[in-house]
Chain A
Amino acid sequence: MKDDQIIICRCEDGTLADVKDAIHRLGLRSVEEIKRVKRFGMGHCQGKTCGKLISQIISRELNISYEDMAPATTRQPAKAVSVKEFASYQEGN
């Protein structure tokens, strides 16, 4: 398997090789940590595609039970909102 040809985070172009590097070289141990350092899960889809994959990789690489892992924080907005939309929002709209 060529790890650098397997995309894990489509939005931020993160590969399996990048995630493994984050775990083994950078010592990151959770989806949240990988998100903050590598930005995986912070793109357009907000981790909806890569979140589960990254949990699976952490689980496999570090032998941590999937069920013991905390989910990464999710914040508003749940979908992409343009700055223009935020700027033009008025109370009572």
Chain B
Amino acid sequence: MSEEYNIVIVGAGPAGLAAATTASKYTNKILIVDENIKPGGQLSKQTHKFFGSKNHYASVRGVNICNILLDGLSKEKVCFRPETSAIGFYKPDTLIIQDKEGLHKIKGNKFIFATGAIENMVSFENNDLPGVYGAGAMQTLMNLYGVKPAEKVLMLGAGNIGLIVSYQLMQAGVEIMGVVEASPFIGGYHVHAAKLRRMGVPILTSHTVKGVYGDGKVEKAIIHKLGGGFEPLHGTEKTIEIDTLCLAVGLTPSVELLHQAGCNIKFIKELSGYVSVHDDMMETNIPGVFVAGDASGVEEASAAMLEGNMAGLKAAYDIEGFNRSVFLNEKEIVEFELKSLRTGPFCERAQAGKKRLMVEER
């Protein structure tokens, strides 16, 4: 007999854990699978404090938010399987998972895909040279394993990830030679950029990396200035000696499992890639199949948690059919929180994307 669950959640990051938190208030037999050793997703390496209001864990460090969520989960109701990958979803009720023992079939009533996002790659000369790292890998090495990952780093990308990881690298004793950003504007929050600038790190907008060079490993990068149409401007090349180029050039939602299963996939620029169409309670066009977090459009962990809450609430309600006013009340609270979170100027993009995603399709 294959194992059977009420709700199967793929991904134990902020969205997955939040989904389990809400769902377990109303139902049981919840399974979370995650390919990593520890739960928490990106939260487990976020040593910085969050912004926003108190309801969104403002001024709590990401890693502590992760622990708060984990501590709140009932072991009787929620089963967590680490080092377990979801490799195929066959609608309506079958998930194939892979762990050390091999492949297993899992049956579920509702499925929540909180599969997160994958880092973008960039094309420049010798982009396969050892010493080219994703910002996520750098953060994992530093903050999870306590390894100093480099000595002299050039950061590509001045969004929040690029800025925050640069600062964390400096905290770990790494020299940041500069932050390079192709767009004419710094994408991340001003406070993060200001913090770096106060410490003497140059942030070069309208610049990008032409290539990295060295004998078997990165020894230097050549950057150049970009014109208004993002074309490289001749004669603006500058050489910077580094041992590592760190890439923080955005994320792409991970939707493979949903796509395979036949979910309606749509390219939404504002949400950073192909995303699965969903309704206001995160249910996709396949009934009983939900999406939450970065997999439904790249935003921040705070939004991911709220989307997880929403998906968990609806999934549990559809199973248990509990008191409707309790359901509507909780839905309203999450909706309000999401709305207030997305009102900031930095969230206009995400909000526009979400609107397009929901309005155009349903």
Contacts and interface: CB of A to CB of B under 8 A. Distances in A.
A91 B102 CA distance: 12
B121 A78 contact: no
A50 B105 CA distance: 30
Contact of B87 (A6, A50, A53, A78): A78
Nearest to B258: A74
Nearest to A67: B267
B55 interface: no
A60 B267 CA distance: 17
B327 to A, nearest CB: 32
A2 B126 CA distance: 9
A50 to B, nearest CB: 7
Contacts of A78: 85-88, 256-257, 260
Interface string A53-93: 10000000000001101010011111101000110110111
Interface string B336-356: 000000000000000000000
B141 interface: no
A18 to B, nearest CB: 12
Given A5-B211, A71-B259, A93-B105, A77 B96 contact: yes
Contacts, number: 88
A12 B216 CA distance: 20
B275 to A, nearest CB: 11
B123 A16 contact: yes
B9 to A, nearest CB: 16
Contacts of A53: 121, 123
B118 interface: yes
A8 B98 contact: no
Contacts of B103: 81, 85-86, 89, 93
B123 A76 contact: no
B125 A5 contact: yes
A46 B98 contact: no
A53 B249 CA distance: 12
B2 interface: yes
A4 to B, nearest CB: 10
Residue of A8, A16, A78 with most chain B CB atoms under a 10 A cut-off: A78
Interface residues of B, number: 38
Contacts of A69: 267
B169 to A, nearest CB: 23
B1 interface: yes
B274 interface: yes
Contact of A71 (B86, B87, B274): B274
Contacts of B211: 1-2, 5
B87 A5 contact: no
Contacts of A86: 103
A71 B127 contact: no
Given A5-B211, A8-B123, A93-B102, A48 B260 contact: no
Residue of A6, A88, A92 with most chain B CB atoms under a 10 A cut-off: A6
Interface string B83-109: 001111110000010100011110000
B210 interface: yes
A77 B274 CA distance: 19
B194 to A, nearest CB: 31
Interface string B60-101: 000000000000000000000000011111100000101000
Given A67-B267, A71-B259, A78-B88, A7 B120 contact: no
Contacts of A46: 256
Nearest to B120: A52
A46 B87 CA distance: 12
A7 B92 CA distance: 39
A71 B265 contact: yes
A6 B267 contact: no
A6 B265 contact: no
Contacts of B2: 92-93
15 contacts: A5-B125, A10-B121, A10-B128, A16-B123, A52-B252, A52-B273, A53-B121, A66-B269, A71-B259, A77-B96, A78-B256, A79-B85, A81-B98, A85-B102, A89-B102
Given A16-B123, A77-B88, A78-B257, 10 more contacts: A6-B126, A7-B128, A10-B128, A48-B252, A49-B121, A52-B273, A66-B267, A75-B260, A76-B260, A78-B260
